[in-house]
Amino acid sequence: MFAYIVRRLALMLVTLIGISIIIFVLLRVVPGNIVDILFDAAGFVDPTDKANLEKELGLNLPIYQQYLNWIGGLLHGDLGYSYVSEKPALQEILPRIPITARLAALALLFSASIGIPLGVLSAVHQGSRLDYALRVVSLSGLSLPSFWLGLLILMASVSLFGSMPIYNPNPKTWTEALAIYAVPAMAVGFRSAALTMRITRSSMLEILRQDYIRTARAKGASEASVNYRHALKNAILPVITVIGIEAAFLIGGLIVTETVFNIPGVARFLVEALRWRDYPIVQNLVMLIAVVVVVANFTVDMLYAAIDPRIRYGD
């Protein structure tokens, strides 16, 4: 087990190095850097000014040199300076992380706490009206893009309550804080909740047919105990896989949701930085997302072994 974890960690490092190269190259393949964009806006271009600025930002160096500078800096905890604000990138990114982390955590919590029980309910009452209703709702969850759902929620809250929760960096009460985060989290988590529900349902249907479920009933266990204690624990593995994948997808959903709800999180910041070709910000943010995804995958695999005794990672 220990050797396995060490090997996995080494593999994670290799993956991250690969990702860093891909991010770096892709960014520079996109036509135009920040200097082009600035000078385009100015209209008149003096080639020496342009060259000076590129030199100042280090954009005149060969691409591998630029890459090594970035990675070298990363290893020292130096993420470079934002081209736009000219502040250290770390200073720009760090305060935004908790905002997005709260949103993402709430969204995942929402999708798991709604999706799993409803999936169980749907499976247990297979073929009933409740089952059909839940499946229709989940289908809508899969087909509604989160930004549109976000807009709908905003419009609905304005027309119903005359106002909408607006982001406030220093909420006074915890209810206000919850309102600020919960609504966008639900908008972005609805899709995951729907997917989680569907996977839970199909996995549960498979498990409920197993012999050991009949054994549990023959022992005199209650329906709740049969469904949750016996069946769900066996049915949960595919659900965890999906939630793990959804954790990665969530970032994509958050980009639009943060924009719609005007929340100054990491995801919206990434899009802004991309518009300016603010390389240090984009590179480091995408790296951060990559780390989150890789860690989520690792956590899912570890959870597998924790839940199912038949899964053991040998050497």
User: Inter-axis angle of helices 279-307 and 233-260, to 10 degrees?
Assistant: 160
Residue from the set 215, 224, 295, 299 that interacts with other proteins by CB under 8 A? 215
Rg, C-alpha atoms of the chain:
24
Residue 237: helix, strand or coil by DSSP?
helix
Are 35 and 70 a contacting pair, CB within 8 Å?
A: no
Least distance from C-beta 302 to other proteins, angstroms? 16
Which residues face 220 on adjacent strands? none
Contact between 220 and other proteins per CB under 8 A: yes
Q: Tell me whether residue 65 or residue 222 sits nearer to other proteins (CB atom).
A: 222
Residue from the set 11, 21, 94, 307 that interacts with other proteins by CB under 8 A? 307
Residue from the set 210, 259, 298, 302 that interacts with other proteins by CB under 8 A? 210
Give the closest residue to 219 by CA, choosing from 230, 228, 205. Answer: 230
| 136, two tokens | 């229709």
| 297, two tokens | 């995958």
Interface with other proteins by CB under 8 A: which range of 99-107, 196-204, 212-220, 261-269? 212-220
- Binding-site string for other proteins from residue 97 to residue 126, where x marks contact by CB under 8 A and - marks none: ------------------------------
Residue from the set 66, 85, 202, 234 that interacts with other proteins by CB under 8 A? 234
Contact between 216 and other proteins per CB under 8 A: yes
Are 110 and 189 a contacting pair, CB within 8 Å?
A: yes
Amino acid, single-letter form, for residue 14: V
Residue from the set 74, 137, 164, 221 that interacts with other proteins by CB under 8 A? 221
Q: Tell me whether residue 102 or residue 217 sits nearer to other proteins (CB atom).
A: 217
Residue from the set 8, 50, 135, 217 that interacts with other proteins by CB under 8 A? 217
| 63, two tokens | 């691409």
Q: How far apart are CA 34 and CA 275, in angstroms?
A: 9
In degrees and rounded to multiples of 5, residue 188 shows phi and psi of: -85, -25
Residue from the set 7, 87, 125, 233 that interacts with other proteins by CB under 8 A? 233
Which residues face 81 on adjacent strands? 88
Contact between 310 and other proteins per CB under 8 A: yes
Interface with other proteins by CB under 8 A: which range of 164-172, 195-203, 213-221, 284-292? 213-221
Chain centroid to CA 1: 28
Residue from the set 219, 252, 262, 295 that interacts with other proteins by CB under 8 A? 219
Residue from the set 212, 224, 238, 299 that interacts with other proteins by CB under 8 A? 212
Amino acid, single-letter form, for residue 111: S
Least distance from C-beta 234 to other proteins, angstroms? 6
Are 192 and 111 a contacting pair, CB within 8 Å?
A: yes
Which residues face 188 on adjacent strands? none
Residue from the set 47, 309, 314, 315 that interacts with other proteins by CB under 8 A? 309
Residue from the set 40, 46, 176, 308 that interacts with other proteins by CB under 8 A? 308
How is residue 312 annotated by DSSP? -
Q: Tell me whether residue 15 or residue 234 sits nearer to other proteins (CB atom).
A: 234
Give the closest residue to 57 by CA, choosing from 287, 290, 271, 281. Answer: 281
Contact between 222 and other proteins per CB under 8 A: yes
Contact between 230 and other proteins per CB under 8 A: yes
Give the closest residue to 289 by CA, choosing from 243, 232, 249, 230. Answer: 249
Contact between 214 and other proteins per CB under 8 A: yes
Point out which residues bind other proteins (CB under 8 A). Answer: 210-212, 214-222, 230, 233-234, 307-310
